[in-house]
Amino acid sequence: MGANAAIELKNITKTFGSVVANKDVCLTVNRGEILSILGENGSGKTTLMNMISGIYYPDSGHIFIDGKEVVIRSPRDAFDYKIGMIHQHFKLVDVFSAAENIVLGLDEKDKFNIKRSAAKIKEISEQYGFEIDPMKKIYEMSVSEKQTVEIIKVLYRGADILILDEPTAVLTPQETQKLFAILRRMRDDGKAIIIITHKLHEVLSLSDRVAVLRKGEYIDTVNTAETNEAELTEMMVGKKISLNIERGEPKDPTDRLVVKNINCVSREGVKLLDDVSFTARSGEILGIAGIAGSGQRELLEAIAGLQHLENGEILYNNPKTGTHDNLRDKTPMQIRDLGVRLSFVPEDRLGMGLVGNMDIVDNMMLRSYRKGHSMFLERKSPKSLAEKIIEQLEVVTPSASTPVRRLSGGNVQKVLVGREIAASPTVLMAAYPVRGLDINSSYTIYNLLNEQKEKGVAVIFVGEDLDVLIELCDRIMVIGSGRITGIVDGRSTTKEEIGLLMTKTQREENGGAL
Amino acid sequence: MKNLKKIFALVLAMSMIFVLAACGGNGDDKDAEKMKVGFIFLHDENSTYDLNFINAAKAACEKMDVEYIPVVNIPESNECKEKALDLADRGCSLVFADSFGHEQHMAEAAKERPDVQFCHATGTTAHTSELKNLHNAFASIYEGRYLAGVAAGMKLNEMIEAGKFTAEEAKIGYVGAFTYAEVVSGYTSFFLGARSVCPTATMEVQFTGSWYDETAEKEAATTLISRGCKLISQHADSMGAPTACEDAGIPNVSYNGSTVKACPNTYIISSRINWQPYFEYIIGCVKDGKEIDKDWCGTIATESVLLTDLNDKAAAAGTAEKIEAVKADLQAGKIHVFDTSTFTVDVAKNPNAKVDDDGHLTSYMADVDTDKNYTPDTEVVKDGYFHESEYRSAPYFDIKIDGITLLNEKF
Amino acid sequence: MENHEKHIREPFFHIAKRDTVVWWLAWLIRIASVAAALIVCAIVTVLLTGENPIQVYITMIDGAIGTERRIWGLLQNTAMLLCVSLAVTPAFKMKFWNIGAEGQVLVGGLATAACMILFGDKLPLIVLMPLIIAASIVAGAVWALIPAIFKAKWNTNETLFTLMMNYIAIQLVSFFTYQWSVPKGSGQIGVINQDTRAGWLPEIGDNDYLINILIVAALTFAMYVYLKYSKHGYEISVVGESENTARYIGINVKKVIIRTMLLSGAICGIAGLLLVSGTDHTITRDTAAGRGFTAIMVSWLAKFNPLVMIFTALLIVFLEKGAIEISTIFGLNAAFSEIITGIIIFFIIGSEFFINYTIKFRKSKGGAAQ
């Protein structure tokens, strides 16, 4: 192994305060292979990769490249060792073209020559099968195009050890397949590739070997060919768990929320929602699938009273009064005053659903602080609610007066979902509620949503993992470029069908252009 | 609970500071031997106005062997009273403040500490105040300005003879701060001095509305130059006007001290008040237990009014001799700066003035004893001249005479 | 050989985030940083002036609290700075960068002065005093309201806007200073109603400043309660932390911005009232004396906690007073004492870094880490 090892880590340890992010991690990546690093969120995968790419410095341990011990103090050092990292969040300048972004920050001896750079980009693209227009501006690009730019950026700099952090999180199944083909080609070219992921089926289909991390500790490396999903899960979680979501049949579904022909336009005049109509029924989970940024956020915010609509109606059938109220262009306060019990778990938990610097008690108050006529706050009932949620949902926190930003992602989400459910809603909207959560927490959330469904709540669930959507939802609505491209039955659909619907409008548009 | 601890720590830290301070206080021994004199300055050494006072105070204290305690950057507010009383607490038996706006705050302090003498430059109220320990002082700077004006007139004559412009074009520009008596007296005496040697001279005055505003003063000087002024002088404290003159190559007569270093080609001469004689006088009075004059006015004779650093490079030939001669005449009483026969007055512009048929001043009631409504209370024209700085030290000549055009009177 | 290379290339130290810090350690770090500041200042003092640093510090303390008068002066100045700090705090907590406190204080003071000059001998005290109080509060509030409305309606940049409002306020004061100057043309107003004392805040006992100090003390407590226990205070926190969250829970962000700025400006107006009617009894361009800007530092240092602000305001005024004394006693240029003040404040602000982060040094060669 030794001669072929591109990079070898020995006993790497990194702590943040009292949190041990990595403990005695040992890893080897060979040239001409794809290594998956598998682990739940918070298991230290990204921290480990950041140490290889020079963003963090390890507290202790050794890094060897081609058998020689090295010290990587900065991203520049990492470049010198031909290590390139493609981050989960792209670091591109929007108003620059692809070529400009790729050469940005490069200290080339000669004068900057965009034509020569473009030629070199073409060369790289052809070698590995990228499709890219070097002159296209970043803001005109789709997510997958942006990712391509990031990858070419590191290749342009001559990287032969590539690290990709959750590259498929933002891609459609089809785009994922394309990316994997490229990565395989690179492997065959002799490059060492590390891919961080927590999606098991991707690990199995792509990588040669899998290294598993759990809570910062290195568990083992196995050959992909010799393992299976169950074994990897067990390594990852530490115990055997069943990966089945129980899906009950909807109980006497009635139309709760009827959305009719709504349109939404951004400040720049771009259509964000295009003639959207659908119905959410009580006692069922309506899933919403789509590429990130296809209008999911605007749709939920429009229902919650946070988004101005051009036209259309959002009708709420009040089960108590039997009235049909139009929620369109009402403020959240007005919606509440109508007696609509609408709960909303937004995608941006700490930037919208919760206030990071406030403690759990004060976050509980967000929805209810206005109660009563006193000028002053009443903290007693939020406090007991906080304690109840901490106990029932097993939130791991030192106390109810801990700022929520100090909690881990899963616990933050439990606090948020717990609060929204505590309002005993009739409509519950949740956007990406399991993003960044470990498997156990994710299942807690799925169970909570199912409980609500059984209680007769109309649940709207925006998700990204198609496997989960198919297992959890009664119906799945697919949204593409702000348009509903189809509503399918969760029990009979396939991933491929949804994947095609996700890109339907795009293909139509492209077809029209040709 | 956490907050309680925080507060406790706070109290602890604060009490520590106080304990420390108490120790510090004890270490402050009273030096009974040497008399202490406190000085309050509006700005610090960077202002030419304050520098003039600071230098004089240092020299006087050294000469009189007393302890010099300055405080600088004291605004014209309650802070002045606080500082004056603090200086008194410190053992100063004499406290001096240098800015006009300090006066009322000094009066407040004087009320509280009748055992300490409070002296103040440029003020107007001490001679009518009931406070025995409040004193004003000024100097007959109009005489110095008159002499500086003579130097300016000679320069104009020289330039006319050299054919640079005609006698009728001999216009002087003057940058003033406010339309206040001190400024009016200053530019009028300067103008009369100039006209005594260059009879065709006229003058334009531009006000800036600030005692210290370098940009505004520079701008004012530039405006005057572009309006055809052949020579500039100023009564404001920054280097604005002198540098504008140096840039444009226009001769400049300065104030408060020489500006020859910055303006080697255009600086002619500067008049200034020398405060050292006054400081020596008041220190001497307190030392000997004598009363200080309520309202003291320095003169050329007391060396309170000085002309400094004649620049031969820019001045006309024979200026030094001429100034000496005029100075001797002034001291001998042969000539007077505000000789009513040398200027005419338009009664329409000056309601308190009475004139004869030729427009020469015969009577003027000035507001010498400051009161709220500025009632003119004293006849100041006698024996054919206006008695400036005689009824009180601070100037009260505020007549608009013919030959001087005020470009803006809004200040 | 490899080991040697590693040793050279490994950084000498790197920075790591601390976990939560126990309160006594945080205070230990703060005290240590003040001690370090004093040592650095001592070195600077010796190098620049050759004076004995211990003597300099004793002088500093003496200058701030050496006599009863100085203690009262210190408390009065602290109260005034604290008052302006209280005013900027709700706005800053809301992340509305109100750097216009200077102007808001000035117009508050100007309104006070105007009432004293125009009505001082016309109205009885029982009418005049409420008029003065109302006028100053309204003036300050209006001065803050203008940028707030523009921010709420058109999302203008409040930093620039409030800054510009300062200049307008200063020029307004200049204009009226000339209008009302005594004597005419002198460019200064002088003590207003020196004989009648009409419109002056009353003295409590024989003390000029006690009333100011008591008013500010009451304001401090009220502001603490307002921010921590009132619904308004809660809304301010939410808007400040995340405008999205505020929208999400249905807070009318514009209303909160305008309401909070009204409060901020009103307290600035009170500060102007206390300065003009309570102590100075005159108004000049310098009446606010830069407090509008220093207050921002006071507020930040205290992390927007009004009770802690008592301490930070006291500290800053203490340093200022001490610094003036140094320049007086040692005959040093006033700039020197500001250098000392600057160094001390730098260390105090820097100490927050060491409370949040720790520095890890390179381990020695022999594997001493084990």
pLDDT digits (tens, 9 = 90+) for B143-164: 999 999 999 999 999 999 999 9
Range of the domain at A87: 2-237
At residue A396, φ and ψ (nearest 5 deg) are -90, 110
**C250 to A59: CB separation less than 8 angstroms, yes or no:** no
Are C297 and C150 part of one and the same domain? yes
Q: What number does CATH give the domain B36-140+275-298? A: 3.40.50.2300
- DSSP secondary structure letter of residue C362: P
How close does chain B come to C85, measured CA to CA in Å?
Answer: 18
Could you tell me the CATH number of the domain that includes residue C183? 1.10.3470
In-domain check, residue A203: yes
**C245 to A351: CB separation less than 8 angstroms, yes or no:** yes
Report which listed range, A98-112, A223-237, A448-462, C174-188, is most confident: A448-462
Residue pair B264/B311 in contact (Cβ under 8 Å)? The answer is: yes
Q: Kindly identify which residue of chain C lies nearest to residue B11, measuring between CA atoms.
A: C311
Alpha carbons C350 and C227: distance in angstroms, whole number: 27
pLDDT (0 to 100) of residue B385: 93
In this complex, the residue of C58, C73, C314 whose CB is nearest that of residue B27 is C58
How close does chain C come to B222, measured CA to CA in Å?
Answer: 23
Which residues of C are less than 8 Å from A68 in CB distance? 2
Q: Which residues of chain C have pLDDT under 70?
A: 1-11, 17, 19-20, 362-370
**A358 to C241: CB separation less than 8 angstroms, yes or no:** yes
Calculate the CA dihedral of residues C274, C280, C282, C285 and round it to 10 degrees: -90
Binding partners of A (≥3 Cβ pairs within 8 A)? C
A306 touches chain C (CB under 8 A): yes
Are C112 and C213 part of one and the same domain? yes
**C238 to A305: CB separation less than 8 angstroms, yes or no:** no
Q: Between these two residues, A233 and B296, which has the higher pLDDT value?
A: B296
Are A267 and A226 part of one and the same domain? no
Which residues of A are less than 8 Å from C9 in CB distance? 71, 73
**Chain C residues with CB-CB distance to A under 8 A?**
2-3, 5-6, 9-11, 14, 16-20, 229-232, 234, 237-238, 241-242, 244-245, 247-250, 252, 360, 363, 369
Helix, strand counts (H, E) of chain A: 17, 20
Which residues of C are less than 8 Å from B187 in CB distance? none
A61 touches chain C (CB under 8 A): no
A366 touches chain C (CB under 8 A): yes
Are C93 and C175 part of one and the same domain? yes
Q: Kindly identify which residue of chain B lies nearest to residue C331, measuring between CA atoms.
A: B70
**C19 to A19: CB separation less than 8 angstroms, yes or no:** yes
Which residues of B are less than 8 Å from C280 in CB distance? 77-78
In this complex, the residue of C229, C232, C249 whose CB is nearest that of residue A366 is C249
Q: Encoding tokens for residue B277?
A: 């004689």
| % residues pLDDT > 90 (chain A) | 34
pLDDT (0 to 100) of residue C11: 65
**A331 to C10: CB separation less than 8 angstroms, yes or no:** no
Chain-wide mean pLDDT for chain A?
Answer: 87
How close does chain B come to C282, measured CA to CA in Å?
Answer: 7
Q: Which part of chain B is CATH 3.40.50.2300?
A: 36-140+275-298, 141-274+302-406
The whole-number average pLDDT for the span A481-507 is: 85
| H-helix or E-strand spanning residue A33 | strand A33-38
**C328 to B69: CB separation less than 8 angstroms, yes or no:** yes
In-domain check, residue C63: no
In this complex, the residue of C11, C231, C363 whose CB is nearest that of residue A57 is C11
**C186 to B100: CB separation less than 8 angstroms, yes or no:** yes
Amino acid at position C120, single letter = G
**Position B23 pLDDT exceeds 60:** no
Binding partners of B (≥3 Cβ pairs within 8 A)? C
What does the pLDDT look like over B53-93, one tens digit per residue?
A: 999 999 999 999 999 999 988 988 888 999 999 999 999 99
Are A44 and A186 part of one and the same domain? yes
The whole-number average pLDDT for the span B387-396 is: 90
In total, the C-beta contacts within 8 angstroms joining chain B to chain C are: 119
Are A287 and A227 part of one and the same domain? no
Which residues of C are less than 8 Å from A354 in CB distance? 245
- How many domains is chain C partitioned into structurally? 2
How close does chain B come to C276, measured CA to CA in Å?
Answer: 10
In this complex, the residue of B2, B76, B398 whose CB is nearest that of residue C23 is B2
- For an interface test with B, the pick among C175, C208, C280, C338 (most B C-beta atoms closer than 10 Å) comes out as C280
- For an interface test with B, the pick among C58, C171, C338 (most B C-beta atoms closer than 10 Å) comes out as C58
In-domain check, residue A246: no
A74 touches chain C (CB under 8 A): no
The whole-number average pLDDT for the span A231-244 is: 76
How close does chain B come to C240, measured CA to CA in Å?
Answer: 22
Q: Are strands B134-139 and B171-176 parallel, antiparallel or unpaired?
A: unpaired
In this complex, the residue of C69, C70, C282 whose CB is nearest that of residue B77 is C282
In-domain check, residue A248: no
- Cα angle value A122/A124/A125 (rounded, 5°): 60
In-domain check, residue A250: no
Are C118 and C220 part of one and the same domain? yes
How close does chain B come to C155, measured CA to CA in Å?
Answer: 34
Are C204 and C295 part of one and the same domain? yes
Residue pair A451/A251 in contact (Cβ under 8 Å)? The answer is: no
The whole-number average pLDDT for the span A62-79 is: 87
**Position A436 pLDDT exceeds 80:** no
**Position A506 pLDDT exceeds 60:** no
Are A197 and A73 part of one and the same domain? yes
Are A411 and A491 part of one and the same domain? yes
Helix, strand counts (H, E) of chain C: 14, 2
In-domain check, residue C66: no
Are C104 and C153 part of one and the same domain? yes
pLDDT (0 to 100) of residue B10: 52
pLDDT (0 to 100) of residue C255: 94
Quote the longest CA-to-CA distance of chain C: 93
Give the contacts of A28 (CB within 8 A, at least 6 positions apart): A1, A5, A7, A8, A9, A221
In this complex, the residue of A351, A367, A376 whose CB is nearest that of residue C230 is A376
Residue pair A406/A412 in contact (Cβ under 8 Å)? The answer is: no
Could you tell me the CATH number of the domain that includes residue A428? 3.40.50.300
Alpha carbons B313 and C140: distance in angstroms, whole number: 56
Are C187 and C148 part of one and the same domain? yes
Are C136 and C42 part of one and the same domain? no
Superfamily of segment(s) B141-274+302-406? Response regulator (3.40.50.2300)
pLDDT (0 to 100) of residue A380: 92
pLDDT (0 to 100) of residue C268: 97
How is C76-145 classified by DSSP, letter by letter?
A: HHHHHHHHHHHHHHHHHHTT-----HHHHHHHHHHHHHHHHHHHTTTS-HHHHHHHHHHHHHHHHHHHHH
Which residues of C are less than 8 Å from A347 in CB distance? none
Q: Are strands A5-16 and A60-65 parallel, antiparallel or unpaired?
A: antiparallel
Which residues of B are less than 8 Å from C286 in CB distance? 75, 77
| % residues pLDDT > 70 (chain A) | 96
Which residues of C are less than 8 Å from A19 in CB distance? 19
Which residues of A are less than 8 Å from C16 in CB distance? 15-17, 59
Are A216 and A280 part of one and the same domain? no
**Position B411 pLDDT exceeds 80:** no
**C69 to B27: CB separation less than 8 angstroms, yes or no:** no
- How many domains is chain A partitioned into structurally? 2
Q: Encoding tokens for residue B226?
A: 């572009």
Q: Kindly identify which residue of chain C lies nearest to residue B70, measuring between CA atoms.
A: C328
| H-helix or E-strand spanning residue A410 | helix A409-422
pLDDT (0 to 100) of residue B8: 52
What does the pLDDT look like over A100-158, one tens digit per residue?
A: 888 887 776 667 778 888 888 888 888 888 888 888 898 888 888 888 999 999 888 88
pLDDT (0 to 100) of residue C89: 97
Binding partners of C (≥3 Cβ pairs within 8 A)? A, B
Which residues of B are less than 8 Å from C186 in CB distance? 100, 178, 180
In this complex, the residue of A71, A332, A377 whose CB is nearest that of residue C229 is A377
Is ipTM over 0.85? no
Q: Kindly identify which residue of chain B lies nearest to residue C286, measuring between CA atoms.
A: B75
pLDDT (0 to 100) of residue B154: 95
The whole-number average pLDDT for the span B201-211 is: 91
Q: Between these two residues, B44 and A317, which has the higher pLDDT value?
A: A317
Q: Between these two residues, C365 and B107, which has the higher pLDDT value?
A: B107
**C188 to B367: CB separation less than 8 angstroms, yes or no:** no
**B100 to C331: CB separation less than 8 angstroms, yes or no:** no
Residue pair B39/B68 in contact (Cβ under 8 Å)? The answer is: yes
Range of the domain at C27: 1-51+332-370
The whole-number average pLDDT for the span B292-297 is: 92
Which residues of B are less than 8 Å from C194 in CB distance? 104, 107
pLDDT (0 to 100) of residue A2: 45
Chain-wide mean pLDDT for chain B?
Answer: 88
Are A125 and A164 part of one and the same domain? yes
Are C98 and C220 part of one and the same domain? yes
